[in-house]
Amino acid sequence: MPHEFTSSYIADVLSLFRAYKTMGERAIAQVKDEHLQQAIDSESNSIAIIVKHMAGNMRSRWTDFQTADGEKPNRNRDSEFESPPATRAAIMDLWQSGWRCLFAAIEPLTDADLGRTVQIRAEPHSIMQAVNRQLGHYACHIGQIVFLAKHFQGSEWNSLSIPRGKSEEFNAKVLRGEASQR
């Protein structure tokens, strides 16, 4: 994804969320269906569980974002780590529903809103702090998804950025104007 200069925090953070969403989708797309449910050990989560947790978190944090606590009373966080969605379609439906909540909450914001106060687990956060908190949280989980996808794909993995051993070739193309910087 090419870098776009902006002086707006909201525009920049929306771009970052979209980039992480796309990264997760590109990683998930490479995984065989049977690997979506597979964890690498008993203490790890599968891609399906990570998606279920992210969707639950997004639904809780971003629904009524400015008017209700980000930890909704009807959220059952522990259940997000049990009974993963059974199919790729169900996993992706959860994924999309979570991201819809996020974008519906952030897209209407302006930079003037950033200092306003919202609550997460009864603790006050500026809107900027709340958004940054979730950006870090989702980046961590998308990194887990990428790690698992790469693990399961092995030598069939298609790099999401510059492939190993191709940095000099890529940099030369950028200098010649033949490739966009990522």
Written as one string, the DSSP assignment of 14-68 is: HHHHHHHHHHHHHHHHHS-HHHHT--SSTTS--HHHHHHHHHHHHHHHHTTTTTS
What is the spatial distance between Cα 11 and Cα 52, in angstroms, rounded to a whole number? 27
The arithmetic mean of pLDDT across residues 22-31, rounded, is 98
- Asked if residue 179 is part of any domain, the answer here is no
97-102-103 Cα angle (round to 5) = 100
35 is a domain residue? yes
- pTM of structure: 0.89
Cα gap 152→157, rounded to integer Å: 8
> Is 79 inside a domain boundary?
yes
List, for residues 41-89, the tens digit of each pLDDT value.
999 999 999 999 999 999 999 999 999 999 999 999 999 999 999 999 9
Per-residue DSSP letter, 163: P
Q: Between the CA of residue 104 and those of 64, 98, 137, what are the distances in Å?
A: 10, 10, 18
How far is the C-alpha of 148 from the C-alpha of 142, rounded, in Å? 10
127 belongs to a structural domain: yes
Please check whether residue 126 is in contact with residue 116, taking contact to mean a CB–CB distance below 8 angstroms. Answer: yes
Helix, coil or strand: residue 131 = helix
Total number of domains in the chain: 1
- Supply 7's token pair: 């002086």
DSSP state, residue 126 = E
Could you report the per-residue pLDDT of 106-131, keeping only the tens digit for each? 999 999 999 999 999 999 999 999 99
Residue 56 falls inside a structural domain: yes
Is residue 71 situated within a structural domain? yes
Joined together, the tokens standing for residue 69 give: 């606590």
Q: Residue 27: how many CA atoms within 13 Å on its side-chain side? A: 24
Structure tokens, 101: 């909540």
Q: Give per-residue pLDDT as tens, 143-168.
A: 999 999 999 999 999 999 877 776 77
CA dist 27 and 148 (Å) reads 9
Helix and strand tally (H, E) in the chain? 6, 2
**Extended beta strands in the chain, E state:** 117-120, 123-126
Domain with 24, as residue range(s), is 9-161
Question: Is the residue at 176 inside a domain?
Answer: no
The pLDDT of residue 134 is above 90: yes
Q: What is the pLDDT of residue 5?
A: 64
Q: Which two tokens stand for residue 117?
A: 């106060």
Q: Which CATH number belongs to the domain containing residue 127 in this structure?
A: 1.20.120.450
* Domain membership flag for residue 133: yes
